[in-house]
Amino acid sequence: MEIDSVSSTLYQGGDLIGVFVFAISGGLAGRRAGLDFFGVVTVGALTGLGGGIMRDILIGDIPPASLSDWRYIVIATLGAMLPMLVKPTSKRALRSLLVLDAGGLALFAVASTTKAYQFGVIPLAAPLIGVLAATGGGALRDVLTNEIPNILRREIYALAALAGAAIVALGLWLQWPIVPVAIVGLVVVAGLRILSLRYRWRSPMQQEDPGLA
């Protein structure tokens, strides 16, 4: 499938901003976990780059953009270093982590769905690639800082990414203007995630089987 210039610019720009935002969230999580400078930068960089690497391998963009374009590594490193300037135990740091995570989730869901579609992934599968890329870096961050990944909790996390990614895939399939579609996708993902945190929305939990109690 031919990749048009607008879509290419959109997913590359969203990718780079998403890497930066997620790298900050990873560095901030590392600071809160009490890691040293090397640990903070490592966790931050892997958080920023991890989801995109998994996405690119799945869609056949080899070598992954994160490993073939110097901007990704530089941006991820700089983002990971920024949290060294804040107090990791403050409530403001925790709120910043949650907001940055929501922003990274939205950027990666939209950019990765767009890239997957432009690389020939069918419309039904493109949102799944978007969700994987959007949640992969955060899951890696949580594992490295000894936290249960958000995607495995009852929080509205992967569902938020899927909602926005599905809107983007539908818009691409129907050939709607990509910029407004991407903006709507970003607002849906970030909005759902932040609102779910604000109002403590939870995904349904399977009832425990009495026979196993």
Highest mean pLDDT, choosing among 16-30, 140-154, 195-209: 16-30
Q: Determine, yes or no, domain membership for 73.
A: yes
How many domains would you assign to the chain?
Answer: 1
pLDDT band (50, 70, 90) for residue 167: very high
* Half-sphere exposure for 122 (CA within 13 Å, toward CB): 2
Q: Determine, yes or no, domain membership for 211.
A: no
CA distances in angstroms from 143 to 46, 88, 116, 153, listed in the order given = 11, 18, 26, 13
| Higher-confidence position of 207 and 161 | 161
DSSP letter at 161 equals H
Mean pLDDT of 149-154: 80
Q: Determine, yes or no, domain membership for 208.
A: no
Q: Determine, yes or no, domain membership for 60.
A: yes
Residue type, 151: I
Report how far residue 128's alpha carbon sits from residue 169's, in angstroms, rounded to the nearest whole number.
10
What pLDDT is stored for residue 210 in this prediction? 45
Q: Determine, yes or no, domain membership for 29.
A: yes
Look-up of token digits 């994987």: 132
102-117 pLDDT per residue, tens: 999 999 999 999 999 9
Q: Determine, yes or no, domain membership for 210.
A: no
Among 133, 146, 30, 149, CA closest to 82: 30
Got the DSSP string for 59-122?
Answer: HT-SS-HHHH-HHHHHHHHHHHHGGGGS-TTSHHHHHHHHHHHHHHHHHHHHHHHHHHHHTT--
What is the chain's mean pLDDT, rounded? Answer: 89
What pLDDT is stored for residue 191 in this prediction? 96
Q: Determine, yes or no, domain membership for 144.
A: yes
Give the structural domain span for 148.
5-203
First to last CA, the chain: 53
Share of the chain above pLDDT 70, in %: 92
pLDDT above 70 for 33: yes
Q: Determine, yes or no, domain membership for 212.
A: no
Mean pLDDT of 55-67: 95
3-27 pLDDT per residue, tens: 567 778 888 899 999 999 999 999 9
